[in-house]
């Protein structure tokens, strides 16, 4: 677990310092505009499943982020000068790394099954955001433990600068059983 946390910290720092050219599997950057005091609803590549597809997917238990902003950060986001990006990753240890090797959802370097990796862009300083995702049941079956890990990183969308502009409590990390039904506070500030 310590290796994973160190790796996630290194990844966050790399994302914060580099341009947003690096991508991860199944990345999705589509969102609909939102306003304060609302819960944004993201348009994802995993649209509402049809009857056939619903048997192949499972909803991620919901949890909510309560976000507070430094006035300058809120003004920058609300003016359209910058986006707040939330990098969502759901992952876990493989049931059988040998069987998972070479599959698109398996990260060889980390030896992890990546159930979902997605970028959510918020173009308004919303007060709350609730995770509302569906994931592939076949990929979930590849996990050693059904209590998968959820990691959220926060950074600027680099519309106004090549560098990350936001600073604060930027990593939310825990198992889905720890996070489901909870509200986690996140503070967004300027660097």
Q: Which pLDDT belongs to residue 99?
A: 95
27 is a domain residue? no
**What b/e string do you get for 142-169 counting C-beta neighbours within 10 Å, with b at 16 or more?**
bbeeeebbbbbbbbbbbeeeeebbbbbe
53 is a domain residue? no
Among 9-23, 33-47, 93-107, which range has the highest average pLDDT? Answer: 93-107
48 is a domain residue? no
Q: What is the DSSP letter of 104?
A: T
174 is a domain residue? yes
Q: Which pLDDT belongs to residue 169?
A: 56
Q: Which pLDDT belongs to residue 27?
A: 39
39 is a domain residue? no
37 is a domain residue? no
Q: Is the pLDDT score of 13 beyond 60?
A: no
How many domains does the structure of the chain reveal? 1
Helix (H) or strand (E) holding 11: helix 2-17
Q: Which pLDDT belongs to residue 8?
A: 44
For the entire predicted model, the pTM comes to: 0.69
Q: How far apart are CA 125 and CA 122, in angstroms?
A: 7
156 is a domain residue? yes
Write out the residue range of the structural domain in which residue 176 sits.
2-19+58-190
CATH number assigned to the domain comprising residue 169: 2.60.40
41 is a domain residue? no
């Amino acid at each position: 677990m310590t290796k994973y946390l160190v790796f996630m910290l290194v990844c966050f720092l790399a994302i914060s310092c580099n341009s947003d050219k690096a991508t991860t599997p199944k990345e999705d950057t589509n969102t609909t505009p939102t306003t304060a005091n609302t819960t944004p609803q993201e348009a994802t590549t995993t649209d509402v499943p049809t009857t056939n597809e619903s048997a192949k997917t499972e909803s991620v238990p919901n949890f909510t982020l309560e976000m507070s902003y430094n006035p300058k950060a809120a003004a920058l986001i609300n003016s359209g000068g910058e986006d707040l990006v939330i990098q969502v990753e759901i992952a876990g240890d493989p049931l059988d790394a040998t069987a998972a090797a070479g599959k698109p959802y398996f990260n060889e370097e980390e030896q992890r099954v990546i159930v979902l990796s997605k970028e959510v862009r918020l173009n308004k300083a919303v007060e709350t955001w609730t995770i509302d995702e569906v994931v592939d049941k076949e990929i979930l079956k590849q996990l050693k433990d059904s209590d998968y890990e959820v990691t959220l990183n926060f950074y600027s969308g680099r519309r106004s600068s090549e560098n990350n502009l936001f600073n604060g409590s930027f990593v939310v990390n825990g198992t889905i059983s720890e996070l489901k039904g909870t509200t986690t506070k996140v503070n967004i500030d300027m660097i």
